[in-house]
Amino acid sequence: MTDFSGLELIEPLRRALTAEGYTAPTPIQAQSIPHLLAGRDLLGVAQTGTGKTAAFVLPMLQNLAKRSRGRPAAGRPRALILAPTRELAVQIGDSVRSYGRFLHLRGTTIFGGSPMGKQIRALAGGVDIVIATPGRLMDLLNRNKLRLDDVSIFVLDEGDRMLDMGFVKDVRKIADLVGSNRQTLLFSATMPTAVAKLAEGLLSDPVRVEVAPQSTTAERIEQRVLFVEKAKKRALLSNLLKDADISRALIFTRTKHGADRVAKHLAKGNVIVGVIHGNKTQGARQRALNGFKKGQLRVLVATDIAARGIDVDGVTHVINFDLPQDPDTYVHRIGRTARAGAEGKAISFCDAEERGYLVDIEKVTGKAVPVHTDHPFHAQEIADAEPAGGKSGRKNRRRNRGRNGGNNGGAWKQANGGGSVRKFRPRRGKGRRPGQEGGSARAA
């Protein structure tokens, strides 16, 4: 399908798409929207960057608008979207506002780390759509600040991540509180047994839409691995960043403490860098992310809290400072680049203790990651070594999570709260596809 004319979207939605510069649906949108407009339950299997958020937001808005009966009662939303992280919830909320700009529907986003009072007041004013993380939603339910009886559309986004983060009990409790006469959607980048079991309990005769094989990596991403001693990783990173082609880099570490140490090291070298992880306040995380989106920060260092759903335009490189223990996490990390038809590069550092992780990644993705030896820190003995334990050796290779480090250096302060960051405005472009997560935060 070359444009949206065949999807039978109502005029206010088509106008919003035109205002955003979108002309063509992505495959997940073209396959999902007709079924969702017809009211079917849906199980969507799609990697990040495929436009899945617009695939469910557009038909949700249309179905709600057609059934609108005026403003909902206080604390009784008509649609609920669950997201595993604050960042993803914020981006989905941006998409709802963007696509629904010409409709008389109201939405609110609720998550931990922000004042509960403001969220309670928003719910009390009556909202059509709630976008929430499970923890804060459960808090508000337990305080009797909202009821889910009137929810007719229930969306669970990033189902595999939701289970990874231990939300399965909360998700089931929330689902039990949602009205039984509902349309249910579950989206997941992968479909392990636990997610399939969850879907079986939540969905009724669902349509399954799968737009890419599970655990595959984007063809446009140029991958490579650099073997290096653990103690020399930071020096290697500084050496790499001398390359001006690395204009917007997302760097992943395994721990919070590791993220802080990498960011401080780069800041001392006058790299404008931000950092986001679970110990940062929501405000600090949002400032760093917005600064990175706007190009004020060249580098963003993150733990895996940012591996999914973070929509940043023009990430040229993803650098795995630490290889992840879970191969699927590798897929999601590198999916932050090569979005919206662009090309990108994924560079992974591998020390002796991570050889097993690399083997696991290559097994799951079905392809060997090319080895790059043309750097001053190449460790041939690591390249030649047999992997230490593979999956069975993971427990011995785990590291304790560290504490937050302090702040120092001008670049560090500039990136982490030393000044205000203006509200992000998405760039306009012709022919972009909505929700193909490389255009703007509004197209998550």
Identify the band that residue 433 occupies on the pLDDT scale cut at 50, 70 and 90.
low
Average pLDDT over residues 433-442: 41
pLDDT digits over 4-43, tens only?
888 999 999 999 999 988 888 989 999 999 999 999 999 9
Residue burial 313-343, b: 16+ Cβ < 10 Å; e: rest? bbbbbbbbbbbbbbbbbbbbbbbbbbbbeee
**Highest-confidence segment of 16-30, 130-144, 154-168, 353-367:** 130-144
**Highest-confidence segment of 241-245, 288-292, 421-425:** 241-245
Residue 79 maps to a domain: yes
| 3-class DSSP state of 235 | helix
pLDDT digits over 58-86, tens only?
999 999 999 977 889 999 999 999 999 88
Give 163-172 contacts, CB < 8 A, sequence gap 24+.
163/192, 163/194, 163/195, 163/198, 164/84, 164/326, 165/84, 165/85, 167/84, 167/134, 167/135, 168/194, 168/198, 170/134, 170/135, 170/137, 170/138, 171/82, 171/134, 171/198, 172/198, 172/201
* pLDDT top residue among 430 and 385: 385
Residue 210 maps to a domain: yes
Claim to verify: residue 236 and residue 208 sit in the same structural domain: no
DSSP for 263-329?
A: HHHHHHTT--EEEE-TTS-HHHHHHHHHHHHTTS-SEEEE-GGGSSS---TT--EEEESS--SSHHH
Residue 28 maps to a domain: yes
Claim to verify: residue 317 and residue 400 sit in the same structural domain: yes
> How much is the pLDDT for 80?
98
pLDDT digits over 312-341, tens only?
878 999 999 999 998 888 988 898 888 766
> How much is the pLDDT for 124?
96
Claim to verify: residue 89 and residue 129 sit in the same structural domain: yes
> How much is the pLDDT for 393?
40
> How much is the pLDDT for 197?
94
Residue 99 maps to a domain: yes
- Last residue of one domain, picked from the residues 190, 214, 238: 214
Claim to verify: residue 75 and residue 149 sit in the same structural domain: yes
Query: Looking at residue 15, which CATH number applies to its domain?
Result: 3.40.50.300
Claim to verify: residue 80 and residue 196 sit in the same structural domain: yes
> How much is the pLDDT for 180?
85
Beta strands 42-45; 207-210: pairing state: parallel
Average pLDDT over residues 364-384: 93
pLDDT digits over 220-249, tens only?
799 999 999 999 999 999 999 999 999 999
216: pLDDT strictly greater than 70? no
Tell me what percent of the residues of the chain surpass a pLDDT of 90: 63
Instruction: Say what the pTM is.
Output: 0.67
pLDDT digits over 387-417, tens only?
755 443 443 333 333 333 333 333 333 334 3
Average pLDDT across the chain, whole number: 85
Claim to verify: residue 21 and residue 159 sit in the same structural domain: yes
Number of domains in the chain: 2
Q: Give the structural domain span for 357.
A: 221-415
Claim to verify: residue 250 and residue 338 sit in the same structural domain: yes
190: pLDDT strictly greater than 60? yes
> How much is the pLDDT for 222?
94
> How much is the pLDDT for 319?
98
Residue 440 maps to a domain: no
177: pLDDT strictly greater than 70? yes
- Last residue of one domain, picked from the residues 149, 179, 214: 214
Residue 172 maps to a domain: yes
> How much is the pLDDT for 59?
98
> How much is the pLDDT for 47?
73
Comparing CA positions, the residue from 45, 68, 57, 58 lying closest to residue 8 is 58
267: pLDDT strictly greater than 70? yes
356: pLDDT strictly greater than 90? yes
Claim to verify: residue 360 and residue 322 sit in the same structural domain: yes
Claim to verify: residue 389 and residue 266 sit in the same structural domain: yes
Residue 108 maps to a domain: yes
Q: How many CB atoms lie within 10 A of CB 379?
A: 18
Claim to verify: residue 346 and residue 234 sit in the same structural domain: yes
369: pLDDT strictly greater than 60? yes
- Last residue of one domain, picked from the residues 188, 214, 240: 214
300: pLDDT strictly greater than 70? yes
Identify the band that residue 212 occupies on the pLDDT scale cut at 50, 70 and 90.
low
Residue 444 maps to a domain: no
Claim to verify: residue 51 and residue 148 sit in the same structural domain: yes
Distances (CA, A) of 48 to 88, 306, 335, 414, 416: 11, 12, 6, 30, 27
> How much is the pLDDT for 340?
66
Claim to verify: residue 200 and residue 235 sit in the same structural domain: no
174: pLDDT strictly greater than 90? yes
